[in-house]
Structure 1
Amino acid sequence: MHSKKSFLTYAIALGVFGITNTEVGIVGILPIIADKFHIGASQAGMLVSMFALIIAISGPFMTLLFSGVNRKKILASVLVVFTISNLLSAFASSYNVLMIVRLIPAFLHPVYFSVAFAAAASSVPQEQSALALAKVFTGLTVGMVLGVPITSFIGDQFSLETAFLFSSVVHAISLLGILIFLPSMPVTRRLSYGKQLNVLTKPQLWLNIAAACCILASLYSVYAYFAEYLEVVTGMSGKMVSIMLILFGASGIIGNMQAAKFLSRNMVKTIISYPLVLGAIYCLIYYLGSYSIPMSIIIIIWGAVFTGGLIVSQTWLTSEASEAPEFANSLFVSFGNLGITIGTTLGGWFLSQMGTHLIAWSGVLFLVLASACIGLKIKLFGSKKGFETSTE
C-alpha cells in the first residue's frame, strides 16, 4: 500500500513537471519558433506571457467550476488535454494555430495544480501531508529550473517538433500513472460556490495571500536574472552558468524535502524564519557575488532555500482556508503567478536603473514586506489558528 501511494505521488508530480515544462520550457525554443513562423521575438514571447495571464486570471474560477467533479477524472482529463495540445503544437501550421492550441490548456493549468496538491495531501495521514506535497513540488521545481534547458537541448539537437512531442509523451506517461495508481476520488462533501468564495471574506487569509505573493516576488525578482548576474558580476561563461543552473536545480530537490520536514515539525517557526534565511542568502550574494568559488557554494544553498519557498508559501496561504482546500490552492497558483510577474518587473527595474549588482536588494525588499504581513497576521489573529495543513 505504501509503495502504491508513493507511485501515486510521483505520477502526480510527473504531471506537474509536464505542465510546468509546457508553461516555461517553451522559453528555450522561442528563437526556433520565431524563425519557423517568421515572427519577431516579442511576438513569440506572447506564447509565454499569454499563458501566464490566463493562469492568473482564470485559476480560482476554473477550480470552482470543477470543484464537484471526481478528482481522478479531473487530473486524467487535464492530462489528456495537455497531451493532445502538445501533439498538435508539434504539427501546428502557423503561429496563430500554435497560439490557440497552446492557450486552451492554460485554462486547465491551475485546475490540475489545485487538485494535485489536495489529492497528494489527502492520500497520506495528516502528519505526512507536507512530505507528500514536497514530492509534488519536486515536479514543479524540476520543471521550472530544468524545463528550459531540457526543451532547448531537444529543440537544438533534434527539432521543434521533437521538443513538443517530448512534452506530450511526459503527459501521456503521467496520465497512465494516474489511471493505474490513483483510486477513484469522488467529492463526498461538495461545498457550494458561495461557501468556497466565503473564505475570501477572512482578513487573515488576505494577509496570508499578501505574504505568499511577496515571497514569490522575492524569489523571482532575483532568480529571473540569475544568468545575467553570474555573467556580469561573477564573470562566469555561458557554459558555467548552465552548470550553475543544474546545481541550483539539483539542490532545489533536496530543499523541497527539507522544507517539508521543517514545516511538519513546527510550521509557525518555519514560516517566520524563511524570509530571514533567504534574506541572509541575498546579502551573501551581494557581498560575495563577484567571487566565483564562494558564489558557487552560495548557489547550492540558494537553490535549496529557493525551492523551499514554494511549499512554505503554499502551506502558509492554504492554512487559512482548509475548509476549501482546492479553491485555496487555486488562489496560490493565481497569486503566485501575480507575485512572479511583480517580482520580475521590479527586479528588471532594479537591474536597469541601479545596476546588476544591486538586484539582490529587490528580493530583500519583498522579504521585508512578507515578514511584515506574517508578523501582522500573528499579532492580530494569533499563532495557533489556521496553521494546520490542508488535507481534505
Structure 2
Amino acid sequence: MPIALLALAIGGFGIGTTEFMAMGILPDVSEAFGISIPTTGYMISGYALGVVIGAPILVSLGARVDRKHLLIGLMAMFTLGNLASALAPNFGFLLVSRFLTALPHGTFFGVGSVVAASLVPVTKRAQAVSMMIAGLTVANVVGVPLSTLASQQLGWRSTFWIVTAVGVLTLIALALWVPRQKPRAGTSVRSELGALTRVQVWLALLVGAVGFGGMFASYSYISPMMTDIAGFTPTAVTLVLAVYGIGMTVGNLVGGRAADRALMPTMYAGMAGIAVVLVLLHFLAPFKVAAVAMVFLLGFVGSALIPSLQMRLMDAARDAPSLAAALNHSALNIANAAGAWLGGLVIAAGYGYTAPNLLGAGLAVIGLGLALASGLLERRGASGPAAASAGAEARVGDAPDSRVRADSGSAAE
C-alpha cells in the first residue's frame, strides 16, 4: 500500500481521538468549570453538529482546490481548533472551539477516501479506504484510553495538547507523502451538489443513518448495560470498551477486503449482522463472557460495513465522490445522535438497559431493507450507477496524476 495512506490514517487517528475522547474527560471538564455532567455533554453533541454541518459546506467550497492542499487546509483547521480547546478560558469558549474543530471532520474523510481510492488499482479501492479509516478505529483502542488517562493524571487540557501534536504530525506527513491531485475538470459547487439529486445517494445515506442508528442505540448505553446487567465493575468496563475497539479495527480491515470482492453483498451482510448481534446481546447480556463476545462482534460487524458504505456512496455519486463520502460521516453522526436519543427513550420508559438492543435490531432491519431496495433499483437500472465497477477507477481517481503506485518516491510531491 502507498505510504500516503499512512498520512491519511494518522489524520484519522487524531480526528477519531478528538471525537471520542470527550466521553472520558467529561468528569474532569465538569469539575474544572463547575458545571453539571449533562451540561458538559454539550461538547459531544456540539461536535456532532459540527460534523453534520461542515461536510457539505467545506466539500462544496473546496470543489476546485487541489485535493492535497485541501487536506492540508482541513487538518490545519482541525489542529487550530484543538489548540483553542486546550487554551479555553471557559466552557462557552470550549464548546465553540469543539464545534469549529468538527467542521473539517467529514470533509477530511470524504476527500481522503477519494485520494486513497485513487492511489491503488480499482480492485483494491475499498481496502485503501479501510486503511485510512483504520486510524479512526485504532483511536478507540489506543487514543481514547490514553487521553482518558492523561486527563486523570495531567488534567483535561493535556488531552487537547496531545491531539494538537498529532495534528501537526499529520500536516507534516500530508506535505511529504500525499501527491498533488487536481480535481476533475469542470468540478464546481453545482456539480458536487448535483449528487444530491440521485436516489441511490440518498438510499445509501439512509442505510448509514438508520442502520447505524440501531448500533448506536445500543452502544450509547453499553457502560450501564455492562455494569448493571452483566455485573462488571466500572474499571472493567474500560477493558470491555477496548474489546469493542479491537472488534472495530479487525472488522474494518476485513470489511475492506470483502467490499472489493462483493460490494453490495458485504453491505447486506453488515446490516444483517448488526441486527443478529443486537438480538443476541439482548439475551446474553447477563452472562459476562458471552456479553464481551457480543460487544466484540458488534464492533466487528458495524465497522465491517463502513468501507462498503463509503464505496457505495462514491460510486453512486459518480462525478461528485468527495461530497458523497463526506456526507457518509454526517449520516453516521446523525445515527449517533438519533440512536442515543431513541435508546434513552426506551430506557426512560422502564424497559431496562437491554431494551435498546432490540430497538437497535429493528433499526438495523430497516437499514437492511433500504440496502436491498438500493440493490434492486440498480439491477433494474432505475437510478443506480450504471457502470460502477467498470468506471469507478476513472470516476474516483479522476485526476490525471492520481494513479500513484505504492512507493514512497511516487507518493512524495
TM-score (norm 2): 0.88
**1:371 pairs with one of 354, 368, 371:** 368
Alignment of 1:349 onto 2:345 = yes
Distance in 2 (CA, whole Å) between partners of 1:157 and 1:22 is: 18
Alignment of 1:138 onto 2:143 = no
Residue identity in the other structure for 1:117: S
Unaligned runs of 5+ in 2: 398-413
2:24 maps to which residue? 28
Check conservation: 1:222, 1:347, Cα contact below 8 A.
Answer: yes
Check conservation: 1:126, 1:391, Cα contact below 8 A.
Answer: no
Query: Residue 120 of structure 2: SS of its match in structure 1?
Result: coil
Distance in 2 (CA, whole Å) between partners of 1:383 and 1:224 is: 38
2:216 maps to which residue? 220
**1:169 pairs with one of 165, 171, 175:** 165
Residue identity in the other structure for 2:203: L
Q: Displacement, 1:145?
A: 5.5
Aligned residues: 388
Deviations 1:209-264 (A, max 9, x none): 21221122122111111111111211111122111111221232111111111111
1:75 maps to which residue? 71
Structure 1 stretch displaced more, 194-203 or 10-19 = 194-203
Q: Displacement, 1:190?
A: 3.9
Distance in 2 (CA, whole Å) between partners of 1:360 and 1:194 is: 41
Distance in 2 (CA, whole Å) between partners of 1:383 and 1:255 is: 31
Residue identity in the other structure for 2:372: G
Alignment of 1:64 onto 2:71 = no
Q: Displacement, 1:383?
A: 7.2
Distance in 2 (CA, whole Å) between partners of 1:34 and 1:76 is: 33
Task: Flag the 1:199–1:82 CA change in 2: closer, same or farther, 3 A.
Answer: closer
Distance in 2 (CA, whole Å) between partners of 1:49 and 1:146 is: 23
**2:226 pairs with one of 214, 221, 230:** 230
Unaligned runs of 5+ in 1: none
Deviations 1:82-108 (A, max 9, x none): 223322322222223323333323222
Distance in 2 (CA, whole Å) between partners of 1:122 and 1:32 is: 43
Check conservation: 1:212, 1:370, Cα contact below 8 A.
Answer: yes
Task: Flag the 1:96–1:341 CA change in 2: closer, same or farther, 3 A.
Answer: closer
Check conservation: 1:110, 1:334, Cα contact below 8 A.
Answer: yes
2:193 maps to which residue? 197
Q: CA RMSD in A?
A: 2.0
Residue identity in the other structure for 2:375: I
2:358 maps to which residue? 361
TM-score (norm 1): 0.92
Q: Displacement, 1:57?
A: 2.4
Q: Displacement, 1:71?
A: 1.1
2:379 maps to which residue? 382
Distance in 2 (CA, whole Å) between partners of 1:78 and 1:378 is: 34
2:321 maps to which residue? 325
Query: Residue 347 of structure 1: SS of its match in structure 2?
Result: helix
1:91 maps to which residue? 87
Residue identity in the other structure for 2:363: F
